[in-house]
Chains A and B, each alone.
Chain A
Amino acid sequence: MKLFGKTMTPDPEVVVDIQNLQKLFKLHHNYSLKDSFVNLFTRSNIHKTMFTALNDINLQVHRGEAVGLIGRNGSGKSTLLKQITGVQRPDAGSVRVKGKMAGLIEVGAGFHPDLTGRENIYLNGAILGMSKNEIEQKFDEIVEFSGQAKFIDTEVRFYSSGMYMRLAFSVAIHTEPDLFLVDEVLSVGDNEFRKKCIQKLFELKNENRTFMIVSHSENQIRQICDRVVWLHHGIIMADGTPDEVYPKMNAFQS
């Protein structure tokens, strides 16, 4: 099912520009001074513990596009999103973006169990870059969307995990950024709520906002995205429409 995918012609303007990006991780850490001191003298093979999470990534995303990032676990999808949000910095290459972004990397990262739903909406809204006025304006809408009006002054620790995620997702989706980075958060809540979320994503997409979505669900990706990027071991294997890329990936994996 494709609601708006075909009706939109993506603006040619580039909003995410990634050039020759490389990201390395050290696999073994020393968490005490003693360990690193010992390592300094024993010269344990440092070069062997490096792991290339992303290698020479070049990617341009245009305004209004919805790009799905697919690939197996550990292929670098989430790492790529983290480079774009600025939480991590690439070891080589560059990332440049335009406009305000909201990383739904992990919904509810800024939530604190000891605060009430109301306080969490304010705190998380501010963390995601909303001003006080914006939050006040959107507050009722957020509460209504989450369906938690009754428990809004209850501490979040008493929420069920579903309720928690619904509230967190509601805040995130109301931040009105130009660029959404969504990481596996579409698996939130029950069917009905998920439908509501996807509906909301379509609305936002219609407003010419840009999306980058990580998901393992082919259905969801096909529903929302008009472009898919397949990552494998930190390398872009294919980039194109879902109909082009999914057969390639399935053939490769089987």
Chain B
Amino acid sequence: MVKKISKLLRTSSEIVPRDKFYTPGSSRGFLDLVNQRFLLKLLVAKEVKVRYRGSYLGQVWTYIKPFVLFLIYFMFVGYVMGGNDRVYNFGIYLFAGLSLVQFFNEVFRNCTISLRSNAALVRKIYLPRELFPIAAWRVALTHFIPQFVILLVASFVIAFSSHPVNLFFLDFKHILAFCLGILLISLFAIGAGMIFATINVFYRDAENLVEVITMCSTWISPVLYDYRLFSEIAPHWFYNIFMCSPISAAVELFHYAFVYDRNFRGDRWAIPVHWVYAANFIPYTLIAFGISGVFLVVGQILFHRFEGRFAQEL
């Protein structure tokens, strides 16, 4: 198995064979990206530069937009609707989930339009088409990193201010949860994005549908409220579906990484309030990973099946 993979990687980094026939335009999906790293980097740099071209604040907008959104939700959901009273450490709780969902929205949206917005290239030059959704993902990642830094600092400050000893309780599990959360949401967003990107080549309706989905994504995952609130009112089967959705699972992984345990330890309010959920934490997450994997495979298959027609349909 390892041998096979390393062989594939080796051949994919070779230059095009000079003395052997090959069929132009036949791709091996994501494997082709291995020797396109430089191009990928340039495409990402282009995307980032072009987006903030001619704007005075430039990259600062990546901070302003999520911050305003956070502030609005924090004021209205936190104070007006009483989220503050129900959820421990609501600020961090909200920001952790919100930044992740925003990341999902951006990846999903950018992937969906990635083929159409690069139509000039897709139509005229053959490149592995997976480049475009992956570039879109990398662009979203560069926007996510500042939010992550803010989140990290804020959660440290709050943990420290509630009890200095909390700082020593940052352990491997939280870092793992964070990494898994990013991985899970990336797989899901890229997979779904590739599916919608393919549809979008043929029917522009996909773009609008994606707008609707991203509008709902904040609400159909436990970002603005506690999942227990949902479990109290929703039928059990619906609650299970809700928790198995990759967005919910990734949000909960983030909550675990930034809010749960760490801030509770050494704290006098420390109650393992999430033990109910913790019992099903792992199965829910595994199912969510399975769903994401299916989306990614379907996305890749659709790309492979239809990429010969991308150029003429765009």
Contact = CB atoms under 8 A, between A and B. Distances in A.
Interface string A29-47: 1111100100000000000
Interface stretch (A97-105, A189-197, A223-231): A97-105
Contacts, number: 105
Interface stretch (A69-77, A106-114, A238-246): A106-114
A25 B205 contact: no
Contact of A98 (B17, B122, B127, B313): B17
Contact of A94 (B23, B49, B122): B23
Nearest to A131: B38
A157 to B, nearest CB: 10
Given A25-B312, A31-B204, A85 B25 contact: yes
B122 to A, nearest CB: 8
A56 interface: no
Interface of B: 15-26, 38-39, 42-43, 45-46, 49-50, 53, 120-127, 202-205, 308-309, 311-313
A184 interface: no
Contact of B126 (A25, A86, A114): A86
Nearest to B19: A98
Contact of B50 (A88, A110, A115): A115
Contacts of B38: 126, 131-132
17 contacts: A29-B313, A31-B202, A33-B205, A36-B203, A88-B311, A88-B312, A89-B25, A89-B309, A96-B21, A96-B23, A98-B17, A98-B19, A103-B124, A114-B50, A115-B49, A119-B49, A127-B39
Given A99-B18, A112-B50, A132-B38, A87 B23 contact: no
Interface in A120-159: 122-123, 126-129, 131-132
A95 interface: yes
A110 B43 CA distance: 10
Contacts of B121: 109-110, 127
A51 B20 CA distance: 33
A97 B24 contact: yes
B19 A87 contact: no
B125 A103 contact: yes
A32 B21 contact: no
Contacts of B205: 32-33
Nearest to A97: B24
Nearest to B20: A98
B18 A100 contact: yes
